[in-house]
Chain A
Amino acid sequence: MTLKVEQDWKDIVHRCFRCGYCKFTYDYSDFNCPSYKKFRFETYSTGGRLWLIYGLITGEISWSQDVANVLYACPTCGNCSENCRFDKFNDLLVDIIEAARAEAVEKGFCPERQKALIERTDNPEMYNPYGEQNSDNEDLKKEYDLPDKAEWVYYIGCTSNYRQKNLRDATLRFLKKANIDFTLIDEHCCCSPVMRTGQINSVKDFINFNITKINNAGASKVITSCAGCYRTLKKDWLKYGADYNFQIYHTVELVKELLDDGKLKFQSEYNKTVTYHDPCHLGRHMGIYEVPREVYKQIPGIKLVEMKRNRENAWCCGAGGGVKIGYPEWSVEISKERLEEANTTGASVISSVCPFCRTNLSDANDKFDMNFEVIDLIEIIDKLDFEITNTKH
């Protein structure tokens, strides 16, 4: 079931009973909703938010900055959808919150900090939420000797391109070494940050622009190393009516495919104890839990250990849903809790497959002197020697 922002959410929201399953882990051993765990008032549970939204719809409560702030104090991690027992509408909970945020924007109650996301993304000099000069990626194409047209487009994503360049470069090196026929485009933001914060007016233009660029590159496959972009391209673009014929891959899916086909063989070891952090956008939002784990397990020397809360039960890194920009201190507190959990596993490395998770986990690691190595899977692979056979994928 796909939520139609224009109508359906208003007919569904009253069905939340506010039973509170949405706050917990599967086994009820802990609160797994970052927002409820922080603020503790019922208002900040997903049930509370849905009731507020219902109150706004009926007019029992008026829009105010206070009310809008409650709607925005949520990383939209999807723990609520995962644990809500009402299976007729539980997969719509995050969509409903985002739809309500869009209404907040329309009514003029988008919080100031989150507004920066759309101001920068809409800025024709930038087209990214970080406020950086837009990169048309031509320099990278030259550096990596990439063609104008190819079977694959590597959609870098703003976080990798402007904040986690090592992750981007590791991906580029991997794709080259793997003999993937790929290119880059002058990409604009996938719009995840503005969609998550309800600032959706120009989303369709961005989607159309990016799709046109991908089509112009002649690509039938798009690969990204960002869990957020992956979710947005594969799920949200369709929700916004996009029509495209290319397939969407996360880097980890390609790595797994190459390993399964026997085309990729690791030739050196990574002798460290690693714990894997499930990005919400890849895990709960897209249902991909085992693919990354299967890749880690095939890396020689690695010892993969699990945190107590993993897979559908994973604790969010705290960066998503506009929380990183809106509540910077709380955002790293959420990551700190993740690192503390990682600490109990005996791992020295916490790894993920999302540049945004990597950023926030690194920020917490630095801020709280946690002494972890925070690294993306593709960066680990970049450190290894490997052999590629059956060239040209």
Chain B
Amino acid sequence: MTRQVYRLGTGIPSYGEKPIEDGNPQYGLGQPADLPGRQSPPWLRGSPGETRPLTASNEAAQPIGVLDAAGQQAVTPTRLRAGWAGPVLLVVALGVLGQAWLGYRARITGSFSTNLWYLTLCLIFIPSAALVTSRRINDRVRVWFTLYMSLALLATRFVLYPTQFVYHDELINYRVLLSIANSGHLFTRNSLLPAAADYPGMEIATITIHQLTGLSLHSSGIIVLLTVRVIMTLALIRIIQRISKKLTVGCLAALIYATNPQYLLFNSTFAYQSVALPLSFFGVYVFVMRSRSRQLIAIAPAAAVVAAVAVTHHLTSIAVVVVLWAWYLFTLITKRHVSQLLLFAAASTLLVATRLWLVRSDVIPYISGITRNSIATIIAFLSGKSNHKFFTDPTGAHAPAWQVALSIASVLIITSTLVPSLWLAITKRRLLSAAVMVLFTIAALYPIIPVGHLTGAVSEIADRSSGFVFAGLGYVIAAWWFRDFPFHRHGKRGSFTPRRHTWLLIPGLSICFVGGTIIGSGPDWLHGPGAYLVSAENRSVDQLALQAASWEGQNLPPNSRVLTDRVNALLAEVYGNQHVLTSLADGINTNSLSTLLLAPPAPADADVACQANVQYLIADKRLTWSLPHVGAYIDAGEYPNGNRTLPPPPSALAKFNSVPGAERIFDNGATRIYDLEGLPCARKR
């Protein structure tokens, strides 16, 4: 009896999987090969005179990395048919210009227009999405436009902050970079996040470009970010293409991936996961490309990439190992062997485990701290003690109604497409390849992202998982959208088989893009420059704070023990070359020590400073202006216990004006620096 084989495109086995015994290859979701295929919707069919229909990609028919008989790439007609492709190029560029103008205006007026920010982002995303999903362009151009869009979205970050890194994680990683530049060696500890120094992959790439080209460290960092964005976009497209046999599915998956909450902001920052995530995609791509070889050495290139990931980011490298073992597990379940997969998974595990073991003293406390905090937050939520408010930042500022509506709409749209996609997978589960099952499993994790937002601390972790979840989600939804067979096995439409309306695709993607960005990119003030705000990451890095940090670097002994607020701590570490006291690196009691900056004057102040051996105290009197925008002035667990409802009094930040032995050695109107080495108890030590 002939077994029905479902496929989406050409008949090329993928991922090194052996064809099934009846000789028919099977992979992914697709059309029963022995059934007459349902006619594609009109918009999917090529128009008269069009050289290449959208659903039967010529490029998809060409295995990656394989040349034709003449040793040349099989060249396909590349002439564009869409007359509006040129204007799209321009409109996307205008979107970037609009972002630059917003940054310029915000610096002049102090006010950043969030509405225009989203509007200019849509100028980049919507025309690109429309063009990439259009049937009027060929596959190669489709890929270039997908890449152009992803780079343009990344460029929006650079035109808002063109000369320096200003976000929390960026500054921590920049500190690691400066340490390498100054010492020539890796793994120099920093007190802000010791684990960051243990994973210097991004900084190594940056310092190499800096040394080979003479570019500044910041410019070199931008080049690294651009490079890994290219890697991420193209690797995702190629991996999905390998599975689905359609480049169009790969490009749509990349568009869907761009709607993930961390895409625009967090995974575009100069932080280690921004490099590790693309490299992990690249590692899988390289393995897939070489997995047909029977030689053991064939996995060496992919293992080298995983080794690079292993020294770039802890959680990403762990996630890669989990994905590889899940993949292997599914090959056992499906009984379809993937050549070299076991060896690759074992080698990756060895590399990642070795790295983790070497840096366990830094990484384990860091990860366990996050885990403890998350569990405590979940318990507080379940017991009704959580004070987390949806769409509200810690100062009480609420997101506009349209942002709330779009966020919810994006979750609903993704869920409403994910459910039928997963249902499709369940009904066709015996015909899915192991790789596809892995992607479906990853996609099925999507609910943790919106559910994670029920609590404050967990939402950050949930959002960070989106870098992986949306890779699966991109494939699942794109494959479902481009399916070219009756959804129901009997060709009837059922509860989970809604029609696919072309006109719904672009608005749906746009809503998901804006909604996802709202969910993952935090409150409005986080998006760009503007007037100073209290404890607000980028918005707290202003001329006054930078001037103080620069002075510290020139006048204070390096690595002096400094106590200050969250943002001035970052600047003191990066530009002041100081050792900022933190609970993570120094084991200090944050609650007790934070009283030096946040509590009214008390007789015990000098003793508290002495016990922690604080040499310099940096007090920014602007902390009294408002509650902290990120929820803490200094760190979690700071004074007072429980919820703060008012900013600290001015006397809290000026108490050392009158403490005997303390010297006030710097004053720029906002920031005062106190030298506490003269405190009587300090002298005794």
Partners in one complex: no
Which A positions have Cβ atoms within 8 angstroms of B?
Answer: none
